[in-house]
Structures are given as C-alpha cells and as structure tokens.
Amino acid sequence: MISPSEPTQVNVQASQLELRRMRSQDVPEVMEIESVSFGRHHWSDDSFYNEMNNQVGRYYALIHQDVPKLVGYLGFWLIADESHITTVAVRPEYRGNALGELMLVQSLERCMGSSIHWVTLEVRVTNYNAQNLYYKYGFASVGVRPKYYQDNQEDALIMTTPDINSADYRKLYNKLKGELEARLGGLPRGFGM
C-alpha cells in the first residue's frame, strides 16, 4: 500500500517525451520540482529566469506530452572548453525511468563535437544514486567543496569527465547511450537539440 506522502510511480517511454529549451512559462513547474528535490534552500524563480538569459547557460525542460506536464529539467554552462552542469531534477513520481540519465546524456550530446572537452559538476557526498550515475558515465571525483550545501552544510564532491571527445570516451558514451535508448524505447523528440 502506498502512503499518501509517496507519489504513485508514472512510467513513460521516449515516444511520450519531448526535450526542449526551457521557457519562462516553465518556471512555475520547475519551482514545484525544485522545492521537493532540493528543500527550502533551492534556487529561486528569479535564478531560473536569469539563467535562461545567461549567454553561457543552456537550460532544458523534459515534457511528458500526453499530460502535458514538465517532468524534469537540466541546466549547464558552456565556458571555453568546459561544461558545468548546474542542475538536474525529476518529479518524484517520474523517478526510476532513467530520466535523470536521459538529461545527463542530453548535456553530453550537446557538448560532444564542439570545443567542449570536459564536463564538471558538484554532487552531495551522500547522494550515492547520482554519484553512481556519474561514475557510470566516466566522471571521477577530483575534490571536495567543504560545507557547499546551505541546508545542512554538507560537503560536495567535485566530479569531472575525461576528454569527452576522445575515442575512448566516445566508445563508452555510445555504448551507454544505446543501452539507454533501448530502455526508453528510443530517444525523445528534441534530443540533442
């Protein structure tokens, strides 16, 4: 039996999804996800409006087209030869569908073949699920930011990829992307845009 506080799991396939650039009208739904994903020390709506206008920022919304509903989002910066993932979140009832992985792959796809060679991010030292996903995609822990998270002063791991345009990394990426595509029954409309 599911308790009232536990969301009912929603299963989706790629054909039901669209990945597109985040729009200002998406921010209210982003804020719903932001508050349940990151607690009271989350980004403000102004932060998202500002980031969508940031010349180095790329922000994407993942839409369940059948509902329609924003079910996840991703943000990253492109600076010189590096990309920095700033945020990734998925509605609780949509977790378990590899949508966080899909959005990570979207960021990697957008960076490959460009002047970007490395992707970095910070992750809570206790967020083992996210860390395992990043390790799977070749990220390595390269340092710690002490007391990085405001809500509980938790440390953040600094993680980075090897050169994403190297032959070895592309081989790993293509294998994992193929496995993800098989799991989702394809890739959503707008993937890689």
Is 122 labeled as catalytic in the residue annotation? Answer: yes
List Cα–Cα distances, 107 to 14, 76, 115, 154, in angstroms.
17, 7, 14, 26
Q: Active-site residue among 59, 60, 73, 134?
A: 134
Catalytic residue of the set 51, 59, 122, 173: 122
First vs last Cα of the chain: how many Å apart?
41
H or E stretch including 169? helix 167-184
Q: 14 CB contacts (<8 Å, ≥6 apart)?
A: 181, 184, 185, 186, 187, 188
**In the annotation, is 173 catalytic?**
no
Query: How far is residue 68's CA from residue 129's CA, in Å, rounded to a whole number?
Result: 28
Q: For the purposes of burial, counting CB atoms within 10 Å of the CB of 171, is it exposed (0-12), middle (13-18) or buried (19 or more)?
A: exposed
Residues with catalytic annotation? 122, 134
